[in-house]
Amino acid sequence: MPRQPSRECQILFSPSGKRGSVPEGTSVLQAAQHLGADLDSVCGGRALCGRCQVEVTEGEVFGLDVASSAGNLSAMTEAEREFLGTSSGADNRRLACRARIIGNVAIDVPAGSQVHRQVVRKPCEAHDITIRPVVRPYFVAVDAPVPGDSRGDLERLCESLSREWGIDVAGWDQQVVTHLQRTLREANWKVTAAIRHGRRLVAVWPGLKDRLFGVAIDVGTTTLAAHLCDLGSGEILVEAGRMNPQIRFGEDLMSRVSYSMQNPGGRVEMTRLIREAINDLVAELAERAGCDANDVLEVTVVGNSTMHHLVLGWDPAELGRAPFTLASNRAVDVPARELGIVIHPSGYAHVLPCIAGHVGADMAGVLLAEAPWDRTDMSLVVDVGTNAELVLGNRDRLLVASSPTGPAFEGAHISAGQRAAPGAIERVRIEPGTLQPRFRVIGSELWSDQPGFADSLPAGGVTGICGSGIIEAIAELFLAGAITADGRIRGNDELPSERIVRQGTTFAYVLLDGQPGVQVQQGDVRAIQLAKAALYAGARLLMEKLGVERVDRIRLAGAFGAHIDVRYAMILGMIPDCPLERVSSAGNAAGTGARIALLDRESRALIQRRVAEVEKIETAVEERFQHHFVAALAIPHETDPFHDLRQVVALPDDDTDTDGRRSRRHIRTSMT
């Protein structure tokens, strides 16, 4: 008897909108694969991984000619009941690999079951991350050898991957073959293979392994920060940070470069230290996430140019002298073991590209995170570290530059300065007239004039003032008239106050009396003026190059951007005038960029392309930079009017200097 042709059933997948008809009896997973709907599976339809969970829609569905019903799928199987933990299936959730289509259905694929799901961003991040993992696990049953079959185990594994998953393996890591035969036999020929970039076999585990991990690392001059992520879901499982151990060779980048140049073996030593720190960090993350460093298949790394070169073991000497040439401005994608990074033996490290001599892979990360090329408005993105890196532009054109701010914003070269750590004054308010201060300290929730403040301080009490604290102190003193627009601390003859004390030929403001006391000294104001003028001049130079007088929005990246009060940054004239509500923190945007590169393989090609396209402005050789720098030494600026700022803050009269005007010459002289 001729076989009855099978009935065709209609199926619609949401949110992809993929629809079509499939023969009755087709599994929902097979239908999704046939129609190209985004539906995850690691076990290949064996009801082992639980990644293929879907929901059936009941009733009339727009786009489907007839009603959808849970009854149009085959009965719930025992395997599903075990997996989904339900005896009734009342919530309409099914395993797509078990549920067979026997009528018209509309299937919703929840975010957790999509391969290319979006990871919802944190509040400070610019956009969601699309998960397109560079390395994925595939469960596969390999044919056991039989007499007469001359194929090797590796070849039979590859053939099974091709048959079950359509993967055409184009290469493998030698390490995979080392233990392959034992693994296959011990696992009764059922293994999970990790495939990188869709073609390369990088690992094999016995049985089902449905979660792989990756670590995104931001190597800063002062600190390292890292996130351990589930490469399938994009979820951040653990994050951790630690001090950069190279700090013993100098606080700033140039000290590190000098050390490597002047000391035989210095570069090798610094590379060893930073790699050790990365390994410690990865081990800590893995332990806290309840996995093993061996489960980490991929790391991505961002960092400023010097850190980037040192992690890679490259000589940073040329970054220390004009014209500040990079060893390479291409991304590096190598087995992690080549960099001495201890993860899975076949794991890879992807180091994002540097942009220019002083615009490193950290800014490449910031760019990925902020994606200014998607915007029509004019964005200024600023990443302040021991050097400021700036990007200005929109979808039409992007310029980058670095400005030599030095480490003053991090509390260095400030008389009572320290890093942002418990005990540091981070917020300051000063009463105009009396000049009485109140302040807050990292580690305490209370202001200094609130009851219980002394008891709330961290062990060790007040230890100094950090970058945000000194910025607020100087801005508040300026608003109170105790610091002139050219940055001079007024003497007692002009502004009688017990808080103003003489120090040789200049004066200082006593923020906290005692041992240790905290003063704002004339040298501190000068250090901040120099740093802020460099930052502003860099931004102004980019604006001039682009031919714009205003920016529409400003994003402040990095820890500094997260902690600084933008109002005070504006009062000091660190950043161009802009409505305050349009200035925001981008959080650790460099770290976010490293995470994007970890989770979305397409972002890697994108940033390499953008890095090549973006226009690099070298502030060191631009004559106009010096012009902008000198004008920016005044608070907030010698000539720029800061109209938006004046809408919300009453700035002291401009004519506040002793000679009745803000003199560029005077500022220049006092700076030297």
Q: Minimum distance from CB of 411 to ligand FES (Å)?
A: 53
**79 vs 548 by CB, closer to ligand FES:** 79
Q: Minimum distance from CB of 49 to ligand FES (Å)?
A: 4
47 binds ligand FES (CB under 6 A): yes
Cβ-proximal residue to ligand FES, closest one: 97
Place of tokens 């390499």: 608
Place of tokens 């997973």: 29
How many Å apart are CA 251 and CA 202, to the nearest integer? 39
Give the dihedral of Cα atoms 179, 180, 181, 184; nearest 10 deg. 120
Q: Which stretch binds ligand FES (CB under 6 A): 41-49, 334-342, 416-424, 504-512?
A: 41-49
Q: Minimum distance from CB of 95 to ligand FES (Å)?
A: 5
Among 18, 51, 358, 532, binds ligand FES (CB under 6 A): 51
Q: Minimum distance from CB of 196 to ligand FES (Å)?
A: 21
134 binds ligand FES (CB under 6 A): no
49 binds ligand FES (CB under 6 A): yes
Q: Which stretch binds ligand FES (CB under 6 A): 40-48, 292-300, 377-385, 507-515?
A: 40-48
Q: Minimum distance from CB of 168 to ligand FES (Å)?
A: 21
Spatial CB neighbours of 513, under 8 Å, sequence gap ≥ 6: none
Q: Minimum distance from CB of 38 to ligand FES (Å)?
A: 14
Q: Which stretch binds ligand FES (CB under 6 A): 45-53, 175-183, 195-203, 416-424?
A: 45-53
Burial class (CB in 10 A: 0-12, 13-18, 19+), 240: middle
Select from 589, 594, 530, 581 the least CA-distant residue to 560: 589
In the window 55-114, what residues touch ligand FES (CB under 6 A)?
95, 97
DSSP string, 24-89: TT-BHHHHHHHHT-----SSSSSSSS-TTEEEEPPB--TT-SS-B-GGGBPPPPHHHHHHHT-SS-
**52 vs 542 by CB, closer to ligand FES:** 52
Structural contact between residues 122 and 562, judged by C-beta atoms closer than 8 angstroms:
no
By rule CB under 6 A, what string of x and - marks binding of each residue 145-174 to ligand FES? ------------------------------
Which tokens sit at 297? 């298949």
Q: Which stretch binds ligand FES (CB under 6 A): 38-46, 219-227, 232-240, 327-335?
A: 38-46
How many Å apart are CA 210 and CA 574, to the nearest integer? 49
Q: Which phi and psi (to 5°) does residue 448 adopt? A: -65, -20
Q: Minimum distance from CB of 231 to ligand FES (Å)?
A: 17
- Cα–Cα distances (Å) from 309 to 271, 327, 374, 404, 568, in that order, read 9, 8, 30, 19, 35
Q: Is the peptide bond before 323 cis (omega within 30 degrees of 0)?
A: yes
Interior angle at CA 530, CA 527 and CA 534, nearest 5: 145
Among 11, 32, 43, 274, binds ligand FES (CB under 6 A): 43
Among 48, 511, 520, 571, binds ligand FES (CB under 6 A): 48
**89 vs 347 by CB, closer to ligand FES:** 89
DSSP string, 415-457: TTB--S-TTEEEEEEE-TTT--EEEEETT-SSBTTSTTHHHHS
Among 9, 22, 32, 52, binds ligand FES (CB under 6 A): 52
The single-letter code of the amino acid at 314 is W
580 binds ligand FES (CB under 6 A): no
- Cα–Cα distances (Å) from 570 to 192, 392, 414, 648, in that order, read 55, 18, 20, 11
By rule CB under 6 A, what string of x and - marks binding of each residue 320-339 to ligand FES? --------------------
DSSP class of residue 100 equals B
> Which DSSP helix (H) or strand (E) runs through 575?
none
Structural contact between residues 536 and 574, judged by C-beta atoms closer than 8 angstroms:
yes
DSSP class of residue 142 equals P
**52 vs 408 by CB, closer to ligand FES:** 52
37 binds ligand FES (CB under 6 A): no
Among 10, 14, 26, 41, binds ligand FES (CB under 6 A): 41
Q: Minimum distance from CB of 76 to ligand FES (Å)?
A: 14
Q: Minimum distance from CB of 184 to ligand FES (Å)?
A: 21
Q: Give 379's Cβ-side CA count (13 Å radius).
A: 25
Q: Minimum distance from CB of 83 to ligand FES (Å)?
A: 7
Helix (H, G, I), strand (E, B) or coil at 574: coil
**208 vs 606 by CB, closer to ligand FES:** 208
**48 vs 462 by CB, closer to ligand FES:** 48
Q: How many residues bind ligand FES (CB under 6 A)?
A: 13
**95 vs 632 by CB, closer to ligand FES:** 95
Question: Residues interacting with ligand FES, by CB under 6 A?
Answer: 29, 41-43, 45, 47-52, 95, 97
